[in-house]
A and B are shown apart, each in its own frame.
Chain A
């Protein structure tokens, strides 16, 4: 069975600095998708970025980028130029190519300080 591990329950960063959130996963499959979701205090689940396992190039969305290491089964999220609005819970999620089910990590609570 696939598992997703986020080993940092909480992190903090100063505004305008860069922070990296860690995520590792376990799977025996070769084709799959990885996601980072943001959950602000409003509790809404917001897709931040996604990565297809067959793509070697790391995904980037504005200030958000990932470091995808397929062999190491690692999928970290880098937030550059952190903003107060980035304060949220961040979830890493895995989806097998053959299903629509998302498997989530336990989340990392990020606090951005002025």
Chain B
């Protein structure tokens, strides 16, 4: 089954404790992205990756890091989480836009609470 998986689905942590949210897709997609969803703000892009070893900032990258060492994986790293990073996080992937495919596939979301 084609899918994007994220782990963990729920996480409660304390300020300053480094954490990683994993994302994996099995569709051989080139493009992967992280979004955060906050009430009244919709989804905003944090970072994206066009392919292996190619990453770039989205609209709200402060406080986050990413890496793309393998095509299928795109982990989101919070080196020193703060309460304002409490949010719902989504990973998404899509094939290269030149292929004519438009759809982005979303993971199930990770609910992160930083106290």
23 A-B pairs in the complex with CB atoms less than 8 angstroms apart: A4-B42, A43-B88, A43-B111, A44-B106, A44-B108, A45-B106, A50-B102, A52-B102, A91-B42, A95-B102, A97-B97, A100-B94, A100-B97, A101-B45, A102-B35, A102-B45, A102-B92, A102-B104, A104-B35, A104-B42, A105-B42, A106-B40, A106-B41
CA A43 to CA B104, docked complex, whole Å: 16
CA A98 to CA B58, docked complex, whole Å: 15
B45, B106, B111 interface centre (most CB from chain A within 10 Å):
B106
Nearest residue, chain B, Cβ from A1? B59
CA A58 to CA B36, docked complex, whole Å: 30
| Residues on B with beta carbons closer than 8 Å to the beta carbon of A35 | 102
Out of A47, A91, A99, name the residue touching B43 (CB < 8 Å).
A91
| Residues on B with beta carbons closer than 8 Å to the beta carbon of A42 | 108
| Residues on B with beta carbons closer than 8 Å to the beta carbon of A47 | 103-104
Contact with A along B78-100 (1 / 0, CB 8 A): 00000000001010101001000
| Residues on A with beta carbons closer than 8 Å to the beta carbon of B48 | 100-101
Out of A45, A52, A95, A107, name the residue touching B90 (CB < 8 Å).
A45
CA A35 to CA B103, docked complex, whole Å: 9
The A contact surface, by secondary structure, is loop
Contact between chains at A106 and B104 (CB < 8 Å) = no
Q: Chain B interface residue count: which class?
A: 20 to 34
CA A47 to CA B41, docked complex, whole Å: 19
Residues in A lying within 8 Å of B, measured CB to CB: 4, 33, 35, 42-45, 47, 50, 52, 91, 95, 97-102, 104-107
Out of A4, A43, A100, A106, name the residue touching B31 (CB < 8 Å).
A100
| Residues on A with beta carbons closer than 8 Å to the beta carbon of B65 | none
| Residues on B with beta carbons closer than 8 Å to the beta carbon of A95 | 102
A101 with B58, Cβ < 8 A, contacts A45-B90, A91-B42, A106-B42 known? yes
Closest beta carbon of chain A to B10's beta carbon, Å: 11
CA A101 to CA B97, docked complex, whole Å: 10
CA A47 to CA B90, docked complex, whole Å: 14
A4, A52, A102, A106 interface centre (most CB from chain B within 10 Å):
A102
